[in-house]
Amino acid sequence: MRLHEASGTGGGIQRSGKRSGRSGWQAEYMSADTGRLIRQLRVAKGWSQGRLASELSKLSGCTMTREYISRHWESGKTEPSAFWLRHIAAALDCPQELLEADVNRRRFLSHLAATSIAPAVASDLLSQGFSTRLHAGGPTVEEWEATLARYGTDYMSQGAATIQQRLAADLVVLQQQLDSPRMWAIAARLMTLFAKTYPGSDGNKAIAWYRMAAEAADRSEDIDIRVWVRGRAAIALGYEGAALPVAHTFADQALAISERSSLGRLNSLWGKAHAAVLEGDVRTARELVDEGRREFDRSYSEEQTSDYAVPWWRVNVFLSLLAARLGDEKLAVQAQEDARAELPAQLPRFATHLAMHRGLMLVRAGDRQQGVALARAALDALPPEKHSLTLRMLMSEIAGVGNPGSAQRFTTDPRLDRTT
């Protein structure tokens, strides 16, 4: 049987807006979304379009070609009919319902499959998620909340490679259970952590995940979650000195959602302060420091070792770098002393942050050689497996102050942790 004959017996190659009952723009959007998902699943298996066409021809008994897959399905021009969806699902080892799921779930998985995880690993993760959907109900909400809490603690000390792979596996399972605002709240926070395993300077990966986390937070219908997700994105990007306009945007959104004191609002203010000083707006940065301090007095955390918390030592790490960037030695030294006084011993990476801030202070004071040497020694003293991408980017910033041409460039490596 030829391809066009399968169209008649299998319900049609493409599903138009009229045939499916969708409006035209909905049909077009879903076709493109399905095409992206087919491509990601194909790539995860290490297959070419020709290999997929061959497998589909064998399974269906009809002729499928590489050109058709490329020009019609993966381009988003048309959406496969039920006939072809059934065989695509079989060829790519996934439930047919995944390909037929609503737009948001498919967008979620497409983003996950588009990460830098190796195809073989991605295939295993996808298989794990599908198996959970087919054979079990998945963890309960309470179990997910316990998992969320563990990630908050683990992220402070573990490397990004471990965190990213664990999160990817859990997100694949979690996306099958997004059936309540409470589950969306969990997903939003986990997606925010996942975004932080990528540097803000790494194209649009981190930003895309932050934006999707914000959308998930909106579905939670929880104001505090909506503010926290955006605030956490703002401080991560601002501290790192990456995508500063995006940092401002997330912070402004968080501040507009609610005026109530919260950790999300606290993070937003400090994120905007870092972005402002890096943009040369010293007056605004200092005003935001004062506002951030007042907010901390209202919404500080007692928890000491969770990424979801901002205790006294951590807000002083924020202040230490900001003061060093301002060139305010007195403010920076006091912040560093306050941070060290309460910094948990099991978090040596943050002690390295503080030492490197001193190097930045020296460079800004005019002693570039000594400042760079101090920062380099602090970084080298930390075991390599505990190095973070944020620390390496900070080293690059320190080396480049007053001498942009010699700023050391570091390879963006998603295996490196970037907790701030």
> What would the mean pLDDT of 251-263 be, rounded to a whole number?
97
- Of 185, 216, 247, the one marking the end of a domain is 216
For the chain, the average pLDDT equals 82
Any domain includes 394: yes
- CATH number, position 20: 1.10.260.40
User: In this structure, are 267 and 402 located in the same domain?
Assistant: yes
Q: How confident is the model over 283-307, as pLDDT tens digits?
A: 999 999 999 999 999 999 999 999 9
Asked if 60 and 135 sit in the same domain, the reply is: no
Whether residue 291 lies inside any domain: the answer is yes
**Rounded Cα gap, residues 244 and 391, in angstroms:** 18
Considering only 15-19, 312-316, 323-327, which range has the smallest mean pLDDT?
15-19
Q: Quote the pLDDT of residue 353.
A: 96
Q: Are both 300 and 351 inside the same structural domain?
A: yes
Statement to judge: residues 70 and 128 lie in one domain: no
338/358 same-domain check? yes
- What confidence tens digit (pLDDT) does each residue in 196-226 have? 887 655 557 888 899 999 999 999 999 999 9
Do 334 and 268 sit in the same domain of this protein? yes
Cα distances from 412 to residues 116, 195, 200, 203, 401, in angstroms, run: 12, 14, 10, 10, 20
- Which of 67, 100, 133 is the C-terminal boundary of a domain? 100
Query: Which of 60, 83, 100 is the C-terminal boundary of a domain?
Result: 100
CATH number of the domain bearing residue 309: 1.25.40
Question: Residue 228: what pLDDT?
Answer: 98
Confirm whether 420 is domain-assigned. Answer: no
In this structure, the answer to whether residues 287 and 400 fall within a common structural domain is yes
pTM of the model: 0.69
Domain count, the chain: 3
| Residue ranges making up the domain that contains 170 | 103-197+207-216
**Shared domain check, 255 and 370:** yes
Query: Residue 415 falls within a domain, yes or no?
Result: no
Contacts of 99 (CB under 8 A, 6+ apart): 34, 37, 38, 80, 85, 88, 89, 106
Contacts of 56 (CB under 8 A, 6+ apart): 62, 64, 84, 87, 88, 91
Same domain, residue pair 29 and 92: yes
Residue 414 forms part of a structural domain: no
Contact 109, 168 (CB under 8 A): no
* Mean pLDDT calculated for residue range 138-161: 89
Predicted confidence at residue 34, as pLDDT, reads 77
pLDDT greater than 50 at residue 26: no
Q: How far is CA 77 from CA 14, 17, 43, 179, in A?
A: 9, 12, 19, 30
